Amino acid sequence: MSFSSIPRIGMGTFRLKGNDAREAVKSALSLGYRHIDTAQMYENEAEVGDGITSSGIPRREVFVTTKIWFDQLHASDLINSLHDSLTRLKTDHVDLTLIHWPSPDDEVPMEEYLGALRDAQREGLTEHIGVSNFTCAQMDQAVDILGQGTLLTNQVEVHPFLANRKVVEHAQSLGLTVTGYMPLAVGKVMEDETLLRIARERNVTPAHIAIAWVASRGVVPIPSSTRPSHQSANIEALDIKLSEEEIQAIDELDRGERIADPGFAPDWD
């Protein structure tokens, strides 16, 4: 089974360690998730690999994403680090490899690391390639370097308090799928009055509403959850069709509240 696009929802594994990571992946797959997202920097690729292996779901039916950390962006480092990731994940290839962050201060030229990523794809180490945390200008540059249709996604922070509209719309205009991380704003959506009201009216939770809103924008949400009940709810959220009024009310919650903003981040749009 070869995936031509990213499954509609993924299981994020940021901050999940050890047995928690292993069990969360296994549980997500048993509930119907087919997209697992990890990264070198999460230091849980081995446990994620264990979770996939022990789930009993054939590897070919699981869409696995990992990400190259910015200290591995030189061409030879990138390929070697991806080989290491595959060893930890116990697989001969991943479905998607992302550049986790653009090289801080362009220390490594984009041509170099995107070229190496493309080489990794040609070698069969990864089915698809993409980027993460890229600005509009950086996406333009990346498409100039690799050509239209080469990159599958830009994975960025998206939740009701950070709609990230400019980047989402620009990525989509370039033909990139947007993957949205932290769709629940690390739990903050559970306390928002607007989301609570809409959730009450529909007899669901604010998490359902936040994920339904992210998905309504054509963005693939990758919530992180260790509890099977929450994992299940996140999948159910995809079936919720929000009304125009509800979407408009949620749109108004955007306050540019960025949660993932390390010192080496690019100048955001």
Residues serving a catalytic function are 42
In sequence order, which residues have a C-beta less than 8 Å from that of residue 55 and are 6 or more positions away? Answer: 25, 26, 29, 30, 62
Asked whether residue 67 is domain-assigned, the answer is yes
Residue 126 resides in a domain: yes
Q: Residue 129 domain-assigned?
A: yes
> In the prediction, which pLDDT does 3 show?
74
> Other C-beta atoms within 10 Å of 209: how many?
28
Q: How far is 253 from 257, CA to CA, in rounded Å? A: 10
Looking at residue 4, its pLDDT comes to 77
> What pLDDT shows up at residue 202?
97
Q: How far is the C-alpha of 164 from the C-alpha of 161, rounded, in Å?
A: 9
pTM, to two decimals: 0.97
Rounded alpha-carbon distances, angstroms, from residue 10 to 15, 103, 170:
15, 26, 22
Instruction: Give a yes or no: residue 240 inside a domain.
Output: no
Mean pLDDT per 10-residue segment, the chain (269 residues): 84 96 98 98 98 97 98 97 98 98 97 98 98 98 97 98 98 97 97 98 98 98 95 97 98 98 97
Question: Count of domains in the chain?
Answer: 1
Residue 206 lies in a domain: no
Span between the terminal Cα atoms of the chain, in Å: 37
- Taking residue 141's Cβ as centre, other Cβ atoms within 10 Å add up to 17
**What is the per-residue pLDDT for 231?**
97
Q: What is the CATH number of the domain that holds 85?
A: 3.20.20.100
What is the structure's pLDDT at 2?
A: 63
Residue at token pair 């080469």: 150
What residue numbers bound the domain in which 145 lies? 11-184
pLDDT of residue 1: 57
Per the domain annotation, does 190 fall within a domain? no
